[in-house]
Amino acid sequence: MFSQSRWLYATQRSSIITRARLQENVLRTSFASNQRYWAARSRHYSSQLGDDKSGHISAGPNEGILFFDNVFPLKVQKILGVPFASHNKPPTFLNYFISPGISGTDPSQIIGQAGSKSDLHIKATDVILRLKEGGAFVKFTHDGSTPTSEIEKTLQQYLKENRIKPWWSPFRRMHVNLVRGRPWIEDLFRLPTSRLRVEFIPSEPGAEAVELSQEQLYSFFRQYGKLGDIITQPPDSKILPKFAYLDFSNMPKAIMAKNCMHGYLVSEAEGGGKKGTLLRLTYEQKIKGHWIRDWLVNHPRIVIPIVAALVAGLTVVVFDPIRTFFVKAHITRSWHIQDNKIYKWIKGYATDIIKWRHRRDDDARMEAVWDDRKGNIDQIQTWLMETADTFIIVQGPRGSGKRELVVDQALKDKKYKIVIDCKPIQEARGDSATINAAAAEVGYRPVFSWMNSISGMIDMAAQGATGVKTGFSETLDSQLGKIWNNTATALRQIALDSRHADDKDSHLGDDEWLEAHPERRPVVIIDNFLHKSQEGGIVYDKIAEWSARLTTANIAHVIFLTNDVSFSKSLSKALPDRVFRQISLSDCSPEVAKKFVITHLDADVDDDPPPKDGSPKIVPSESRTDLGELDTCIDLLGGRLTDLEFLARRIKTGETPTKAVHEIIDQSASEILKMYIFASDDDGSTKLWNSEQAWLLIKRLAEKENLRYNEILLSDTFKTGGENVLRALEQAELISIVSGPNGRPAVIKAGKPVYHPAFKRLTEDKVLRSRLDLAILTDLTKIENATIEKAENELLLLSKLRSQPSQMAPRINYLLAKLQASQEKVETYDKEGKVLKKVLGDEY
């Protein structure tokens, strides 16, 4: 076994040494071949700078000059700018890769092979390489039996049939053309281009050159390749010598034309004038100064959309991840020091040493309320554990404790939750303020809201210049969409961050895992939804659509907190095929309300300084003798939490419960007058009701607590647009509409419990009542007068008929009865109005 291994090792080592020696021999052979090639070429060249170093080469009798292209790669011309670089042969380090001997593009060898195949008696005498032009001049001799033009065609046919292609140009073969002029083989650092400048020079001093036309130039130069354009001098140009520009389709064709036609003498027969005209060709740079800037300025229709796309792409690539990071940090409270474990430990340690004043939490005051609403809290927590992809709606009037119920109680132990308050977003004035308000709610930053206005002005200016919209500016809709989309991305990442590789459901995809684990999803609370919904719904529509995507994609649970009873109309657009889960919060019962007020009174006892005599602190609920009035006061005030808290504060200042309630009622009465009665006269453009309609409801509700919905609609005051008026007053919280069977509106009640005694207080004011009742009577009188006028006009029209058939009698009787009834009402309103005017004249 050991001897066999040694034999294998020796065999492999011998093979490696053999291959290395072969490669060394190949390199040596290649190096020697190149050295012999360049040595032979050097002996073969007459002069690299032309005859007598004049820069020109000429052909004698039975001689000719050919130009071959594609001998060297054109890209190698950039190396010529390096110091000590030769213009005649490649640098040494490239000589082994692109020399004509290796690439098979040696012109002298091609001439020899072509001559042997076609019996041409030609011989290459000189080869002048043009490295920067990628070609070579070849001077040859012939026996004179074959014209040079036939030699050119024979070589061209040979290259076309054999298609010699060097390795650096696999798609373009070599070409050859006869040099008709007197080429200039300068070694200046002038790089070739696809544009040639053709100057028309006199053939001898004192002679006159002829400017060739485009047709003549085309006939001379089209044989060297496709011409893109021929540009001649303007007729009034004073520039001498006269010239023209030739634009070839590519650079190799321009190189071939320049080297073959430079110094060509255009004879008189060819249109060159009496003495002939010489053509002097040079390369012309097409790139002019500031061409990029000029192109950008001159093409706004292309540039501005490209710039907008680049800005949008930069925003998505750079800023979107940063914004998602900040939103995620806002939801997880990563930077809130109060949630830091070290901070909590230090705070607790310091509290043990220094006895701080301990302020009881507000939850102690709300214990009675939460005990009463324990079923609602449990219901919300149960829904959050289920997979159903629908909304949870908590609806109730202002001050009913919706936010405290959801955030502080139902979601007390929920780690990841975010509250989005629609009120500051909806009340923001202007697009920039709205964007800033929405971004602040979710922690979206950085926000470039000022760019929205600037881009809008740029877009307007660009549209005026180009005539079309560039799309540079973004609408409020798209900006809000970006904010909500980044928030959705952050919520999804938060939900998936709790996923571990060792979970039993780790094999599931992200979407399937989110659907299987509803308890891991964050909770989004939309507070004050449909706040001032009559002012416009773009904010609410975007939030509803975004919330629908969150629930249907199982990214997060969404809970809406709203005061509006018509929320389903707005949310059904976002989720038309879902049944919402709804909780309606009402006012507290009298027992809970009384307990809430007493708890509120006793809540701040611990913060009061102890008595100086050392006696125990006085508890208000035990020391005050007037708390027995609370039962009667709460019956007047109702169970609205904000009103109960206001009552407790007033009692704490030393007022009796009865006086505090009467003050609250008086304040509510003043508020009603300001918001619903007098303000509607001055601001009728934004309110859908008038003072007469609001007063009629106040007067009726003061007499009885509940009104029939259709009864109000049938009254003459609500004859026009009655349902819209009632909905507007419900949105403004003057009234509340209770649904009956099948969800139809059935009962009208006061908007807040305290409003009912406030209504009574207002109707007890004789002057106010007389004034507003007189306004109602005036409005009703106008309605009846309009009815009378309409009936009279129809009766007048019927009286003008020549014959009155018997069939018209029922209609005439109907109109007369209607006219009589309206007239009786007008007389009644007039009598009642006189009484009211007398009261207004006598009372202050």
Q: Quick count: other Cβ atoms within 10 Å of Cβ 48?
A: 15
Phi-psi region of 165 (alpha: psi -120 to 50; beta: other; left: phi over 0): beta
Of 660, 774, 688, give the one whose Cα is nearest residue 668.
Answer: 660
354 contact partners, CB below 8 Å, separation of at least 6: none
Q: Are 248 and 196 in contact (CB under 8 A)?
A: yes
Tokens of 218: 């085309």
Q: Are 698 and 759 in contact (CB under 8 A)?
A: yes
The predicted structure's pLDDT at residue 116: 79
Q: What is the per-residue pLDDT across 415-449, written as a single tens digit (0 to 9) for each?
A: 899 999 998 998 888 888 888 899 999 999 888 76
Provide mean pLDDT across the span 103-120: 80
**Which range has highest mean pLDDT (101-105, 357-361, 539-543)?**
539-543
Which SS3 state, helix, strand or coil, does residue 614 take?
Answer: coil
Provide mean pLDDT across the span 551-561: 92
Give the C-alpha separation, 697 to 772, whole Å.
12
Tokens of 697: 């409801």
Q: What are phi and psi of 128, to 5 degrees?
A: -115, 110
The predicted structure's pLDDT at residue 731: 82
Give the C-alpha separation, 831 to 392, whole Å.
56
What residues does each domain of the chain span?
Answer: 41-178, 195-286, 319-584, 590-609+618-764, 771-842
The predicted structure's pLDDT at residue 27: 37
Give the C-alpha separation, 750 to 754, whole Å.
8
CA angle centred on 571, ends 567 and 576, rounded to 5°: 130
The predicted structure's pLDDT at residue 426: 87
Q: Are 761 and 663 in contact (CB under 8 A)?
A: no
Q: Are 748 and 659 in contact (CB under 8 A)?
A: no
Higher confidence at residue 586 or residue 460?
Answer: 586
pLDDT greater than 90 at residue 147: no
Higher confidence at residue 116 or residue 88?
Answer: 116
Evaluate whether the domain defined by 195-286 bears CATH number 3.30.70.330: yes
The predicted structure's pLDDT at residue 43: 38
pLDDT greater than 80 at residue 635: yes
What type of residue sits at position 125?
T
- Any idea which of 299-308, 410-419, 475-484 has the lowest mean pLDDT? 299-308
Give the C-alpha separation, 76 to 100, whole Å.
14
Give the C-alpha separation, 459 to 305, whole Å.
10
Which helix (H) or strand (E) covers residue 620, if one does?
helix 620-623
**199 — pLDDT class (breaks 50, 70, 90):** very high
71 contact partners, CB below 8 Å, separation of at least 6: 100, 105, 107, 129, 134, 135, 136, 166, 174
**19 — pLDDT class (breaks 50, 70, 90):** very low
Provide mean pLDDT across the span 75-79: 66
The predicted structure's pLDDT at residue 93: 57
Tokens of 124: 């290459």
Higher confidence at residue 566 or residue 667?
Answer: 667
Q: How many residues does the chain have?
A: 844
Architecture in CATH for domain 319-584:
3-Layer(aba) Sandwich (3.40)
Give the C-alpha separation, 601 to 598, whole Å.
5
Q: Which CATH code, of 1.10.10, 1.10.150, 2.60.40, 1.25.40, is assigned to 590-609+618-764?
A: 1.10.10
**Which range has highest mean pLDDT (382-386, 476-480, 564-568, 682-686)?**
382-386
Report the half-sphere exposure of 489 (CA within 13 A, side-chain side): 16
